[in-house]
């Protein structure tokens, strides 16, 4: 049986210097006060153009990002590939609002697909719809597209066109494409667009993947209905399964606006639904494909068990595990060592434009119970193991 306690395998890609740097970084992130102050100070320093990019690049950026460009990520791609782990290039620039920026981002995502086509170790591409669209127009279109003004309809058509160009590039290159999940008040339109793309490009196999956030209490129902639609309309449904990234924002908005929160009442229910979704997907794998994006040890082990129980090979190409670069190496490397399909999200982009992503990573490590402590304990365990050799 696979064990995530094997730190020799987990950290075999890291030198002693790498381990020490990761240890001190996670020690810093473990302090909510330091993270809060650090966010304010970093944003201020970047705003007034203080020369801190070098410090950022050598610390948090190098831990969680591959570089500023696709070319900068080559070393990370090579290193991960040498241990049987794939790379998912994630252009993590956020907050753009102009059509010129959206077009630039669209072309950058297509470039990640082209790079994946050249590689044996880049199994997927990924993008966020808000990276190529105004949030406001998605929010307007979320409930009823027919109520949009003519100008809004034209803008929405432009968004759909950009999405289709990305998806067609994935189809033509035979590179599956993940469409990330976002806030609930724009997720319905993203779900609809994702399924439109599946109907076009997923006839033979899953090329386009939608993302389900299982911290929502309605996603099991959504999954079961999606499977029925896929069977009835004869297409494959690609699913990236995650717990979710907008919980605090979702609860605050629901309370402020007086509607039922879409979020599970506690983590236990998220965990139960995540594992239930794994069961449903594996049971229906003939018309589905799965990327289990999780840093949860129990869910990762449970999926390995489901594969065995359903007589599926460890390296069945329809089923992948994924974690973020710089986190949960004990899961990623031990799974890959046991021949399971594993990929790491490798974010990249200009430092100042990727900072919102990096600061969110710091927040998540601080807020997720036990995450940072687990990272630190495993690093310490490996350092002790190396000392005793």
Q: List the structure tokens of 260.
A: 């039922």
Nearest to 262 by CA among 181, 185, 334, 316: 185
Residue 38 within a domain = no
Quick one: angle between helices 267-283 and 219-233, nearest 10?
A: 20
pLDDT reported for residue 96: 81
Please provide the distance, in angstroms rounded to a whole number, between the alpha carbons at the two ends of the chain.
25
The CB density around residue 244, as the number of other CB atoms within 10 Å, is: 20
Residue 363 within a domain = no
pLDDT reported for residue 314: 96
pTM for the structure as a whole: 0.93
pLDDT reported for residue 40: 66
Residue 113 within a domain = yes
CA distance linking residue 125 with residue 237, whole number of Å: 16
Q: Which domain holds residue 202?
A: 66-348
> How many domains is the chain partitioned into structurally?
1
pLDDT reported for residue 52: 64
pLDDT reported for residue 184: 96
Residue 324 within a domain = yes
Residue 312 within a domain = yes
* CATH classification of the domain holding 235: 3.20.20.220
pLDDT reported for residue 33: 66
Residue 295 within a domain = yes
pLDDT reported for residue 210: 98
* pLDDT tens track, the chain, 389 positions: 789 999 999 999 999 999 998 888 888 777 666 666 666 666 666 676 666 677 777 878 888 899 999 999 999 999 999 999 999 999 998 778 899 999 999 999 999 999 999 999 999 999 999 999 999 999 999 999 999 999 999 999 999 999 999 999 999 999 999 999 999 999 999 999 999 999 999 999 999 999 999 999 999 999 999 999 999 999 999 999 999 877 888 999 999 999 999 999 999 999 999 999 999 999 999 999 999 999 999 999 999 999 999 999 999 999 999 999 999 999 999 999 999 999 999 999 998 888 777 776 666 655 554 678 888 999 999 999 999 87
CA distance linking residue 207 with residue 115, whole number of Å: 16
CA distance linking residue 194 with residue 131, whole number of Å: 15
Exposure of 266 in the CB half-sphere (CA atoms within 13 A): 2
CA distance linking residue 179 with residue 49, whole number of Å: 34
Residue 165 within a domain = yes
Residue 232 within a domain = yes
């Amino acid at each position: 049986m696979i064990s995530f306690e094997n730190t020799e395998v987990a950290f075999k890609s890291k030198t002693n210097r790498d381990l020490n740097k990761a240890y001190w970084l996670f020690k810093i992130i473990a302090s909510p006060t330091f993270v809060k102050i650090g966010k304010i100070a970093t944003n201020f320093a970047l705003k007034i153009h203080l020369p801190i990019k070098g410090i950022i690049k050598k610390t948090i950026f190098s831990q969680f990002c591959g570089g500023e460009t696709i070319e900068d990520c080559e070393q990370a791609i090579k290193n991960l590939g040498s241990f049987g782990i794939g790379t998912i290039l994630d252009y993590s620039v956020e907050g753009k609002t102009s059509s010129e920026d959206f077009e630039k981002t669209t072309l950058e995502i297509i470039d990640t697909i082209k790079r994946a086509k050249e590689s044996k170790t880049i199994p997927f591409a990924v993008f966020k719809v808000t990276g190529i669209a105004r949030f406001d127009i998605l929010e307007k279109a979320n409930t009823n597209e027919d109520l949009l003004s003519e100008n809004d309809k034209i803008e929405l058509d432009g968004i759909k066109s950009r999405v289709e160009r990305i998806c067609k590039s994935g189809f033509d290159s035979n590179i599956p494409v993940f469409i990330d999940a976002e806030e609930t008040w724009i997720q319905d339109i993203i779900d609809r667009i994702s399924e439109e793309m599946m109907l076009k490009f997923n006839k033979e196999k899953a090329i386009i993947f939608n993302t389900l956030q299982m911290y929502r209490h309605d996603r099991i129902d959504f999954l079961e209905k999606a499977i029925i639609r896929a069977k009835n309309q004869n297409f494959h449904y690609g699913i990236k399964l995650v717990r979710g990234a907008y919980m605090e924002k979702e609860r605050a908005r629901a309370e402020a606006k007086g509607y039922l929160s879409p979020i599970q009442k506690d983590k236990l229910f998220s965990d139960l639904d995540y594992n239930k979704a794994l069961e449903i997907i594996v049971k229906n794998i003939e018309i589905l494909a799965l990327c289990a994006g999780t840093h949860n040890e129990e869910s990762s082990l449970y999926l390995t068990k489901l594969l065995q129980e359903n007589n599926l090979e460890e390296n069945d190409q329809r089923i992948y595990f994924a974690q973020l670069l710089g986190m949960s190496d004990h899961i990623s490397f031990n799974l890959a060592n046991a021949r399971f399909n594993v990929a790491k999200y490798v974010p990249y982009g200009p430092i100042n434009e990727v900072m919102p992503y990096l600061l969110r990573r710091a927040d998540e490590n601080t807020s997720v119970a036990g995450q940072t402590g687990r990272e630190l304990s495993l690093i310490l365990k490996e350092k002790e193991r190396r000392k005793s050799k």
